[in-house]
Amino acid sequence: MVAISIIVPVYNVEKLLSKCVDSILNQNFKDFELLLIDDGSKDKSGLICEEYAKKDSRISVYHKTNGGLSSARNYGIEHALGEFITFIDSDDYVDKSMLEILYNNMIENDVDLSITGVRDIYDGKTSIDVDREKLLLNSEETLKFMLMGKKINVYAVSKLYKRSIFESIKYPLGKAYEDSYIIVDILKKCSSVFIDTIPQYNYYHRTDSITTLSYSSRDLDYIEAWTLNFEKIKSAFPNLEDLGLRRVCFSYFFVLDKILLANKERETTNTKDIVNFLKENSTFILNTPYFSKNRKIALRLLKINLKLYKPFPYIMNRFIQKSN
């Protein structure tokens, strides 16, 4: 049995695909199969996949009707032969030691999930690498870090999973923010997790601002995902209920900010419901240490009038642009 199955969904990335695949083939760790899932690409991505398959017997190419990222990942999981699974997005690339670090940490610590850090890249600008930490955690400790936005993210990438985890878990079809939908389910199936914060995965952000991704109704999936997760957290991880609610509230803020940045508050029927939810949970938000002082000030303005709150996401977005 091959050690690792690398699943790469491919869709219309002809200009970026070679950099991704080359970074995989250049890995120090060699015992892997690479599954390139062409999800109905309309450019030359499918042909590029086939050319790589001719050069390396570890590569298998699958062409399927377009079904979206979740569909492509599920398809890859169904065809994976490895003991472990990792996902790489076709517009990203990885450091040559990534698989080696993930695998060694997995085996040496006998864990169900091995994680490395992510290096964010915004239009050529790279985030500063954090100091390296190594942590052996149980599932609740891992989820706590994730809910607090520390050391672990919800991305499917930069992680090595035991294949058995996905025997009963599938990515949700037709949903945005698909990683958020299943991360709690994944952690529920893990007895232990090893985190090595050294950045090994280069996550390419095609834009440097959330304003460039205009609001759409699919953004409501983010709220749905964390509302569902909150119920799972209350049941499986009751000690983390406050952090779970914090993440739900954050999802409402996130979507509201996108609506306002796109100037769609009047035409979006959900705006009122989102504002009402935040007002109803204002006591929790204002009294919890899990929200910043600026966010709490903004909420007080929101409770008075949405117009008073509206400058806040613009200010924060400008700050994000400068920091990147």
Averaged over 20-31, what is the pLDDT? 99
Q: Using alpha carbons only, how large is the chain's radius of gyration in Å?
A: 20
Distance between CA atoms of residues 42 and 245, nearest Å: 41
Residues ≥6 apart with Cβ < 8 Å to 41:
10, 11, 12, 13, 14
Q: How far is CA 237 from the centre of its chain?
A: 21
Distance between CA atoms of residues 246 and 250, nearest Å: 6
- Tell me the residue type at 241: E
Provide the number of structural domains found in the chain. Answer: 2
- Tell me the residue type at 283: T
219 and 200 inside one domain: no
249 and 316 inside one domain: yes
62 and 181 inside one domain: yes
85 and 200 inside one domain: yes
**pLDDT recorded at residue 282:** 98
- Rounded to the nearest integer, the mean pLDDT of the chain is 94
176 and 259 inside one domain: no
> Exposed (0-12), middle (13-18) or buried (19+): which is 143, by Cβ within 10 Å?
buried
Residue 19's domain spans which residues?
A: 4-205
The token pair that represents 124 in the structure block: 């050529």
Q: Which residue among 176, 205, 234 closes a domain?
A: 205
**pLDDT recorded at residue 323:** 45
177 and 300 inside one domain: no
Distance between CA atoms of residues 96 and 197, nearest Å: 16
218 and 131 inside one domain: no
10 and 58 inside one domain: yes
The token pair that represents 70 in the structure block: 């979740």
Q: How far is CA 265 from the centre of its chain?
A: 27
State yes or no: pLDDT of 324 exceeds 70.
no
**pLDDT recorded at residue 124:** 67
* 7 SS3 class: strand
- pLDDT tens digit sequence for 170-188: 999 999 999 999 999 999 9
Q: Which residue among 205, 238, 263 closes a domain?
A: 205
38 and 170 inside one domain: yes
**pLDDT recorded at residue 151:** 87
| The model's pTM | 0.93
Averaged over 107-134, what is the pLDDT? 89
154 and 246 inside one domain: no
Give me the CATH number covering residue 97: 3.90.550.10
**pLDDT recorded at residue 207:** 59
State yes or no: pLDDT of 29 exceeds 70.
yes
115 and 224 inside one domain: no
Q: Which residue among 205, 221, 240 closes a domain?
A: 205
- pLDDT tens digit sequence for 37-96: 999 999 999 999 999 999 999 999 999 999 999 999 999 999 999 999 999 999 999 999
233 and 319 inside one domain: yes
